[in-house]
Chains A and B, each alone.
Chain A
Amino acid sequence: MVDDISHPTEPDKAAFRPGPVQTFSCPNCGGVIGIRALGITINAVCESCGSIVDVSNENLRIIETAAVKAQAAQIPIGSRGTLFDTEWEVIGYMIRSDGSGRYLWREYLLFNPYQGFRFLTEANGHWNFIKNIRVAIETGGSSRIVELDERQYRLFEQGRAVVRYVMGEFYWRISVEEDTAVADYVAAPHILSKESSDGDIMWSQGIYMPHREIGNAFKLDKLPAPKGIAPNQPSPYTGKLGQIVNVFLVSAGLLLATQLFFNERAADRVVFDRKIQAPASARDQLLISEPITLTGGLANTVVMAKSNVSNNWVELDATLSNDVTDASDSATLPIEYYSGSDSDGPWSEGGQTTEVAFSSVPGGEYHLQVEVDAGAFAEGKPVDLQVKVIRDAPIWANFWLTLLLLLPYPAWALIRHWIFVLKQWSESNTGSVSNLTRTT
């Protein structure tokens, strides 16, 4: 029964380089059945009539006769492609569905005589490269987490996988309508799947493959782009997110270092400090300080006012003017402090201190002019005031402003990442989003 010839099938049609094929005659229709994994394959499908034939020994036995018409696979049987440095030949093709039959996916059996078997799966244009593994993993109890090779996988879905269509050859018994219980655990881009039937448990480990890599490997230019989000598809932000956060942290660190450096260098010298009591008659009068010497070149100069007001207000109009050039900087410094107690308990708002910073004030001789108004003046009462002028003070405002400008991009990326993961897990029939956020 075994033709001892090895020849490539249909060499004229070959955009690929087929391996040697051992051929059998189909016991149903007499058509040619080619076997590529000789001595390993036990079931093969006749290309002509679709019968599933047991080829494990010379008594070729028909297991099932075809009920469905041939369906074209995106990667034809006999195609070769190199993935992970190994050349693989597609020798089997299966269409499977979930229990409802509505959700379909396709599985390709890949063979290399030295490396054994792998699978490519495709669902909605999303591809996975999968290897069966021999491991004893316990999934008992209510745990949704499985650990393998120090990686934690989270249960994504549980259901059934039903074989709907077969083509090519297989190293296990195949049967259309064969029903298997499956559970998928994910740690994107990795996936761990458990298939169990009749007490037999088979684990497989896979990795998400961008569809372009599959197209390149098998020289197919028209693989459709994936739709939706696959369970183990890595978030496009995962890789970037780390970088973005690092860039943010480094920038913030540099910014802080710069700030601290300038703080250290700042003279921070009090060049004027005076306490006065302004009588009610001081309203609309101009109070003029004694001369103030500002040393150095350009530097910031802070005017600070303090008044121990309580449930009242004081307002100062301050002008710092250069005696020589007449150049001046002006600002209003309002001070208000209110406090009390209501049904929510004690409260307070405002403060007893206020300050204004004039930037880039040249060195020289100055006078400070102050006009005071206060709530207390209306009652004919004086107010206590303290006015300080500080030369070259450390200023934090720019630091916080720059930090705020750095924030939106990492925040945006983080939010996009969360949205991606939430969408992904909304498809899960076992996962709950609330306990998901803890680990992602």
Chain B
Amino acid sequence: MDVELMGSVAELTPDVSPFQIGTTGRHRNIGFALIGRLKMSWSAGMWNEWFLASDDGRTGWLAEAQGFLSIAYETDELLEAGLTHKLTNLQKIADLARRDPSTVIETGHSSEDPLRLGARFKIGNWTYLVMDIKEAACTGCEGELPVIAKIGRKTTSIDLLNETGRFASIELGEDFRRRTYVGEYVEFDSLALSNVRGLPGWSLPKASTSTTGMKGLSNGG
């Protein structure tokens, strides 16, 4: 993976994220640091994808959406053939819609049986349920990122969940590259975080430390 230093090419809209570039923590006893951020937007809001570098050399994303946190690392685990087929189909439709914005992506009205919520597929040795399919666009970024974070860069994002709590995310990029990440949902307090962002009017969680103090609401830049 080629990590490029992107700098702040895009303006970030203000938010009350408790994270910032330089926040460190531990996930399953392995240290990590947040080194970049993509701000994503979809039809029902925004979320943050924090690019993380793990002490064991892996890279992944800490996703922060609607108060939920997940950590997932890129994997080369094999996708079940049926899933690959449906993803290819989905990517074609998405690509069509991107070139002609008047096309409405309705995964439910394709000629072929589309990828559906609740469908079960195997990734590696585990069976997952499709929980969420959404079309998202990058609206801003900062720090180091593994992708060229062009504003407006579109991605189809599929979230899957396993009954034992494993989480998987598949990103279908505009570049026709498919990336698969596996991990889990995590609790803020379980990450032993340091250097979290101070937020005015709020006290830091007991287990966390902040070195930057009150930075105010407007962020990044």
Known pairs A40-B45, A135-B165, A199-B117; A114 contacts B202 (CB<8 A): yes
B residues 7-44 near A (Cβ < 8 Å) are 13-18, 41, 44
B residues 176-221 touching A (CB-CB < 8 Å): 185, 188-189, 196, 199-206, 208, 216-218
Contact A87 B203 (CB under 8 A): yes
Chain A residues positioned under 8 Å from B57 (CB to CB): none
- Distance, CA A116 to CA B188, complexed state (A): 9
Nearest CB in chain A: distance from B129 CB, A: 5
* A114 and B205 contacting across the interface, CB-CB below 8 Å: yes
Instruction: Tell whether A18 pairs with B201 under 8 Å between CB atoms, given A115-B188, A172-B44.
Output: yes
Are A114's CB and B18's CB within 8 A? Answer: yes
In the complex, chain B residues whose CB is within 8 Å of the CB of A199: 116-118
Task: Determine how close the nearest CB of chain B comes to the CB of A28; give it in whole angstroms.
Answer: 21
B131 at the interface (CB under 8 A from A): yes
- Enumerate chain A residues within 8 angstroms of B17, measured Cβ to Cβ: 39, 113
Closest to B201 in A: A19
Interface 0/1 of B136-166, CB less than 8 Å to A: 0000000000000000000000000111010
The reply to whether A137 and B163 contact each other, CB–CB distance below 8 Å, is yes
Residues of B within 8 A of A19 (CB): 200-202
Q: For A39, what are the chain B residues with a Cβ–Cβ distance below 8 Å?
A: 13-17, 46
Known: A22-B14, A134-B185. A6 touches B196 (CB 8 A): no
Report the bound CA distance from A17 to B203 in whole Å. Answer: 12
List chain B residues, Cβ under 8 A from A116: 66-69, 188
The binding surface of chain A is classed by DSSP as loop
Chain A residues closer than 8 Å to B13, beta-carbon distance: 39
A2 within 8 A of B: yes
Q: A117 at the A/B interface (Cβ < 8 Å)? A: yes
Of A17, A56, A87, A135, which is within 8 A of B45 by CB?
Answer: A56
**Residues from chain B with Cβ under 8 Å of A38 in the complex:** 14-16, 217
Residues of chain A contacted by B199 (CB below 8 angstroms): 20, 113-114
Q: Of B18, B66, B162, which contacts A117 at CB under 8 A?
A: B66
Enumerate chain A residues within 8 angstroms of B204, measured Cβ to Cβ: 114
Please determine whether A114 and B217 come into contact, CB atoms closer than 8 angstroms.
no
Determine if A4 is an interface residue (Cβ-Cβ < 8 Å). Answer: yes
* Given A136-B131, A200-B117; A113-B16 close (CB under 8 Å): yes
Q: What is the distance, in angstroms, from A48's C-beta to the closest C-beta of chain B? A: 23
Q: What A residues does B208 contact at CB under 8 A? A: 114
Q: Are A17 and B161 in contact (CB under 8 A)?
A: no
Give the size of the chain A interface in residues (CB under 8 angstroms): 39
Cα-based distance from A20 to B41 in the complex (angstroms)? 23
B161 near A136: Cβ-Cβ < 8 Å: yes
Could you say which residues of chain A place their CB within 8 Å of the CB of B70? 134
A8 to B202, CA, bound (A): 13
Which residues in window 62-89 of A have CB below 8 A to B? 85-87
Residue of A57, A114, A134, A200 with highest tally of chain B CB at under 10 A:
A114
* A residues less than 8 Å from B217 (CB atoms): 4, 6, 20, 22, 38
Cα(A386)–Cα(B10), bound, Å: 111
When distances are taken between beta carbons in the complex, the residues of chain B under 8 Å from A36 are 16
A90 to chain B: closest CB distance in Å?
Answer: 14
A173 contacts partner chain B, Cβ-Cβ < 8 Å? yes
The residue in chain B whose Cβ has the minimal distance to the Cβ of A41 is B45
* Contact, CB under 8 Å: B67 / A117: yes
Which of A6, A85, A134, A173 is in CB contact (< 8 Å) with B68? Answer: A134
Contact A87/B66 with A2-B14, A40-B16, A137-B163 known, Cβ cut-off 8 Å? no
In the complex, 17 of the A-B residue pairs with CB atoms within 8 angstroms, ordered by the A residue number, are: A6-B201, A19-B202, A36-B16, A37-B16, A38-B14, A38-B16, A39-B14, A56-B46, A85-B206, A113-B18, A115-B205, A134-B167, A136-B128, A171-B67, A172-B66, A199-B118, A201-B117
Q: Which residues of A contact B (CB under 8 A)?
A: 2, 4, 6, 8, 17-20, 22, 36-40, 42, 56-57, 85-87, 111-117, 132, 134-138, 171-173, 199-201
**B: which residues have CB within 8 A of A?**
13-18, 41, 44-46, 66-70, 116-118, 128-129, 131, 161-163, 165, 167, 185, 188-189, 196, 199-206, 208, 216-218
